[in-house]
Amino acid sequence: MKIKEWNLKSFSAAKGFTLIEVLTAISISFILIMILVRLLGFSIDLMDFTVQRDQLLFNGRGAVDYIEREINRSYKIHSVKDKNHTSGEDLGFILEIKPYGETKEERQFVLYTLNREKLRRRTLKTDKPFTEAGDINKGNNIIAEEISSLQGSYYDSSRHMIRLNITTTDNRSYSMEVYVGDKINET
């Protein structure tokens, strides 16, 4: 039996690809590109979600830490009920602290309020006592954004405790109780 010999010269003489080879290569390339685009899109969405979640975490936790430092820096704490203000939802207390640096004022009053999902620090520097000081609305700094509620924040003069409860727009709640000792003003 005679084995048929292949004529390899006809294959080696061909220059280029057949139509089926070209279509197969384009199809495989297109499928690989689509997979890579989907993976890249998923990675970008995941990164955006992580950044947004971290920002909300920083806003809630950072605000609580900032306020705690100011409470520890204060030397008197007054009730918000002792002052008339129309600044929106507040934490329930006003801090009396010594201003930083050399100033002619000997007191600084600090009030934290919530206005349009922004936690604001309102201040008034004065040399007058608390009962004679004006409206606490001179300095106005944004401490945190995307805050939905301060509900549950209060100070208890009988226990010498301040409870901070800050809720972010994603409904995460950050709480802390701070012992203030004899800083609470009973007047």
Tens-level pLDDT at each residue, the chain (187 residues): 566 666 656 555 566 678 888 899 999 999 999 999 999 999 999 998 888 877 777 777 788 888 888 888 888 888 777 666 555 677 888 888 877 777 676 788 888 888 888 888 888 877 777 666 667 767 788 888 888 888 888 877 777 788 888 888 877 777 777 777 666 554 4
pLDDT the model gives residue 187: 44
At 73 the three-state DSSP class reads helix
pLDDT the model gives residue 40: 94
What is the Cβ-side half-sphere exposure of residue 141, based on CA atoms within 13 angstroms? 10
Burial class (CB in 10 A: 0-12, 13-18, 19+), 101: exposed
Burial class (CB in 10 A: 0-12, 13-18, 19+), 30: exposed
pLDDT the model gives residue 30: 96
DSSP assignment of 93-155 equals EEEEEPPSSS-S--EEEEEEEEETTEEEEEEEEESS-TTT---S-SEEEEEEESEEE-TT-EE
Q: Closest by alpha carbon to 61, among 180, 161, 152, 146?
A: 146
To the question of pTM greater than 0.85 for the whole model, the response is no
